[in-house]
Amino acid sequence: MSERPPERVRVTGPPRRRASRPVRPRRSQIDDATLVGEIYLTSLLREQLRLGLTGLAVVVLGLGIWPLLFWLLPDLAELRLLGFPLPWLVIGFAVYPFLWLVGWRFVRAAERNEEDFVALVETRDRP
Amino acid sequence: MNDAAPGILAVTLVTVATLAIGTWGLRFSRTTSDFMVASRTVGTRLNASAIGGEYLSAASFLGIAGLVLVRGTEMMWYPVGWTAGYVALLVLVAAPLRRSGAYTVSDFAEARLGSRSVRSLCTVIVVLVGWLYLLPQFQGAGITLQSTIGAPRWVGEIVVPVIVLINVMSGGMRSITFVQAFQYWLKLTALLLPLVVLLFVWWGDGAPHPVDAPASGVDPATWALPLAGADAQGLYLTYSLIVATLLGTMGLPHVVVRFYTNPDGRAARRTTLVVLALLGMFYLLPPVYGALGRVYADALVLAGRGDVLVLELPRLMVGGPVGELLTALVTAGAFAAFLSTSSGLAIAVAGVLGQDVTGRPVRGRRLSGVAAFRAGCVVAVTIPCVLALTVPGVGVARAVGLAFAVAASTFCPLLVLGIWWRSLTRTGAMAGLIAGGCGSGVAVLWTLGTPPGSGWASVLLSQPAAWSVPLAFTTMVVVSKLTRAEVPGDVHRIMVRLHTPEQVQLDRELTRRNPAPDRAGWA
C-alpha cells in the first residue's frame, strides 16, 4: 500500500474552547441511560428476541405439523420406507438432527448479533 | 438367588463408582478456591455431559421403552419434546439466565423483580416440582431392584434415597459435575451395547417386523399412529404433551442450577448445543427397545409391567451368561439414571430450602450455610421417599410428564417475560404463577387421585399444559399492565445485565437491593 497518501494534517487556529470533552466509547451512553444508549440496548434486545422467536417458530411448526397431518391422513402412518414406518422415521430419527440444526443456526446468528453490538458500542465517537 | 448376582454386582459397582468419582472430584476441586470456578475452566463438553447425565432420568431410561411397547408410537413424543425443550431453553433463556447470575429460579425472580414474596412463591413451586419429579425416580428404583434381583419394591425406594443423601451431603455441588458426566456415558453405553446384540438376535431369528408382530396390546394400525387415539381428544393430548415438554424443560429446578456452572452467556449457548446432540443420540435408542418388546415381550404387556421392559428384554431374547451380562449392564444404566437425576434434584431442592427455609433464623439462632443445605437435603429427599412408599405406582414417564406441565405453567412464563419484557411487575408475576400453578396443580392432583376417564374434562385435566400455559402467560401480562406503576426503576440495568455480552464493560450491578449473588456453591 505504498501509494497511500500521506496522513492529512489539519491546520487550525488556536482553539476557541479550552477544555475539550474526553473521548468516550459509546457504551458509556448505555450506563448513563441516555436516549442513544437506550436505542443501542433496545436494538440488541429486539434482534435477539426476533431470532429466538424465529427459532421457536421453526421448531413449533416443524414438530407441530405432524400430529395434524397424521390426524387428517391416518393412512400416512402405514406408509413404509425401507421397512421403517413413516412416523418412526420422522419422530424417531429425523427430528433430532433437525432440532440440532435449528440450535446451531441460532447460536451462530446470536453470536453474530452480539459481535455487531460489541463493534457498535466500542466505537469511540469524536467529541 | 443365583439369578440376582449380576444385578447386585451392577448396582454395587455403579454405587461405588459414583461415590469414588465424587471423592475424586472433591479432591480436584480443592486445588481451586471453589467448585464453580473449577467448572468454569472445565469447558463445554464436560458441562454438557453433566447436564445430559442429570437430565436423562428413569423416565428416559425405562419409561419411554415401556410406553412405546404398550401404547405405541404416540409415546415417542415424550423424548422428542424433552429434546425440543432444550431448543426452547437455548433460544429464549440460556444466555440471559446465565448472565443473570441466578443459581435458582428463586434467585432470578428476586433479582428481576426485587420482591421477597415472589421469591417465596417460586421456592414453594421449585420444591413441589422437585418432589413430583423425585417420586417416580424412587418408585422406578423400586421396580428395578424388584425386577432384577427380586427384592421387594420398598428396598429400592429406600436404597436410592439413602445413597443420594450420602453423596449429596458429603460432596455437595462440588463433586457432582464429574459424577453426572460419567453417568451420561454410562447410560448411553448401557443402552447401546445390549441393543446392538439384541438387534442381531432379532435379525438372526427372522422374527416378524415389530409393527406386524401378533402382540396382545394395541393393534398394529393404532400402534404405528403417532397420536393418542384417532379422535380430537387424541390430537389434544398429543399437542398438550408437546407444549408441556417444550416449555417445561427451562423451568426444571435441576436444569436451571446446571446453567449456573457455565462461564458466561456465550458458553451457556454452546453447552446447550452439545446437550442437544447428546440427547438426540440417546433418545434414538429407547423406542427401539419398545419395538423389539412387541416381538419378544408380550408377557410384560399382559402383566402391565411395561416399565421393566428395558431390564427384562435381554434376558428374554438372549439366554445364558450373555443375557445375564447384558441384564447387568442395563441395570447399571438404570441405576445411574436414578442416582444422577435424583442427586441433581436433591441439590436443587435442598439449595432453595437451605436459602429460604432451613437457613431462616429460628428464635434468633441460625444454621450456617452448609448445615442449612444439609438440613434442606434431608427434607428434600425424605418426603418424596415417604410418598414413594405410600402412593401406588403412577408410571414413571407420566408422573415426570406432570412435573413438566407444572414447570411449563409457572416458571416458563416467569423466565420468558422476565427476560424479554421490561413491563413485568411483581404483582403480575405473582398472579401468573398462582394462576398457572393452581391450574396445573389441580390437574396433577386430579390425575394422580382418580382413575382415567374418557370425558373432555378428564382429558383436559390429565394433560393440562395446552390451557394452563396460555392462562399463566395471559394473567402475567394483563396484571402487569394493570400494575404498571410497579415496574422496577432499575429495569434498564437489569436488561443490560441479562443481554449484553460480558466482554463489554458496562455497569451491571443492581442498586438498592441484593443482586443474585455470584454464589460459590454450597459446600
Residue by residue, pLDDT tens for chain B (523 residues) are: 356 777 788 888 888 887 777 766 666 554 433 444 344 556 788 888 988 988 998 888 888 898 888 888 888 889 999 999 999 999 999 999 988 888 888 889 988 998 889 999 999 999 999 998 898 889 888 888 888 778 888 888 888 899 888 877 776 556 677 888 888 999 999 999 999 998 888 888 877 777 666 666 667 777 777 776 667 888 888 899 899 999 999 989 888 888 777 888 898 999 999 999 999 999 999 999 988 888 887 777 777 777 888 888 888 888 788 888 888 889 888 888 888 888 888 888 888 888 777 767 776 777 766 777 788 888 889 998 998 888 776 666 677 888 999 999 999 999 999 999 999 999 999 999 999 999 999 988 888 777 777 788 888 888 899 999 999 999 999 999 999 888 887 888 888 889 988 888 777 776 544 433 433 333 2
- Closest to A103 (Cβ–Cβ): which among B77, B87, B492? B87
Do B279 and B57 touch, CB atoms closer than 8 A? no
The answer for A 29-68 residues in CB contact with B (under 8 A) is 30-31, 33, 38, 41, 44-45, 48-49, 51-53, 55-56, 59-60, 63-64, 66-68
Angle CA A15–A19–A21, to nearest 5: 110
Q: First-to-last CA distance in chain B?
A: 42
Do A118 and B95 count as a contact with CB atoms less than 8 A apart? no
Exposure b/e, B454-488, CB count within 10 A at least 16 = b: eeeeebbbbbbbbbbbebbbebbbebbeebeebeb
Please tell me which of the candidates A55, A66, A122 has its beta carbon nearest to residue B87.
A55
Query: In B226-258, which positions are buried (b, 16+ CB within 10 angstroms) versus exposed (e)?
Result: bbbbeeebbbbbbbbbbbbbbbbbbbbbbbbbb
- DSSP H helices, B284-319, are 286-296, 298-303, 309-317
Beta-bridged to residue A124, according to DSSP, are A25
Q: Does A96 map to a domain? A: yes
Question: Which residues of B fall within a CB distance of 8 Å from A100?
Answer: 273, 276-277, 280
Residue B297, helix vs strand vs coil: coil
If one counts the domains in chain A, the total is 1
Third-level CATH fold of B2-392: Sodium/glucose cotransporter (1.20.1730)
Cell numbers representing residue B197 in the block: 446384540
Alpha-carbon gap, residue B88 to B85, rounded angstroms: 5
At residue B216, the pLDDT reads: 64
For chain B, what are the domain ranges?
Answer: 2-392
Interface test with B, best of A34, A80, A91 (most B CBs within 10 A): A91
- Domain assignment of residue A89, yes or no: yes
Residue entry with cell 404387556: B301
Å between A100 CA and nearest CA of chain B: 6
User: What's the gap in Å between the CA of A114 and the closest CA on chain B?
Assistant: 6
Per-residue confidence (pLDDT) for residue B463, from 0 to 100: 87
- Phi/psi of residue A25, nearest 5 degrees: -70, 160
Size of interface A-B (CB pairs under 8 A): 146
**What are the chain A neighbours of B209 within 8 Å (beta carbons)?**
83
Nearest to B133 by CA among B44, B63, B72, B81: B63
Contact criterion met (CB < 8 Å) for A122 and B504: yes
Chain A neighbors of B246, CB-CB under 8 A:
59-60, 63
Comparing alpha-carbon positions, the chain B residue that sits nearest to A93 is B284
Residues A107 and B266: their CA atoms lie apart, in Å, by: 9
Q: ipTM exceeding 0.90?
A: no
**A110 touches B: beta carbon within 8 Å:** yes
Three-class SS state of A84: strand
Task: Record the pTM.
Answer: 0.86
Q: Is A26 on the interface with B (CB under 8 A)?
A: no
What's the grid cell of residue B184? Answer: 451420561
Pairwise CB contact (< 8 Å): A74 & B211: no
Nearest residue to B7 via CA among B147, B183, B209, B216: B147
Smallest Cβ–Cβ distance between B227 and the set A55, A71, A83 belongs to A71
Rounded to an integer, what distance in angstroms lies between the CA atom of residue B174 and that of residue B35?
5
Is A68 a domain residue?
yes
Nearest CA in chain A to B286: A92
- Identity of the amino acid at B511: T
What is the distance in angstroms between the Cα of B160 and the nearest Cα belonging to chain A? 31
Taking the CA of residue A23 and the nearest CA in chain B, the distance in Å comes to 16
Pick the closest to residue B130 from B344, B410, B429, B430 (CA basis): B344
Q: How far apart are CA A54 and CA A19, in angstroms?
A: 49
Residue range A28-84, pLDDT digits in tens? 777 777 788 888 888 899 999 999 999 999 999 999 898 888 888 877 777 777 777
Contact criterion met (CB below 8 Å) for B227 and B238: yes
Count Cβ neighbours within 10 Å for each residue of B303-319 and write b for 16 or more, e otherwise.
eebbbbbbbbbbbbbbe
Q: Are B432 and B276 in contact (CB under 8 A)?
A: no
Which residues in chain B have their CB less than 8 angstroms from residue A51's CB? 91
**Could you list the residue range(s) of the whole structural domain that residue A69 is in?**
27-121
Dihedral pair phi/psi, residue A85, rounded to 5° = -65, 145
Q: Is A84 on the interface with B (CB under 8 A)?
A: no
Cβ–Cβ gap A95/B227 under 8 Å = no
Give A95's contacts in chain B (Cβ within 8 Å).
80, 83-84
Give the 3-state secondary structure of residue B298.
helix
Q: Which residues of B touch A27 (CB under 8 A)?
A: 504-506
Helical packing angle, B426-449 and B116-149, nearest 10°: 30
Chain B neighbors of A110, CB-CB under 8 A: 95, 269
Q: Which of A63, A75, A81, A124 to mutate: most B Cβ within 10 Å? A: A63
Cα–Cα distance for residue pair A32/B336, rounded to 1 Å: 52
Is residue B73 a contact partner of residue B225, using CB atoms and an 8 Å limit? yes
Interface contact A106-B91, CB threshold 8 A:
yes
CB count, 10 Å around CB of B368? 9
| Rounded CA separation B160/B384 (Å) | 12
Q: Which three cell numbers stand for residue B329?
A: 449392564
Distance CA B24, CA B59 (A): 29
Which residues in chain A have Cβ-Cβ distances shorter than 8 Å to B501? 114, 117-118
Neighbours of A26 (CB within 10 A): 15
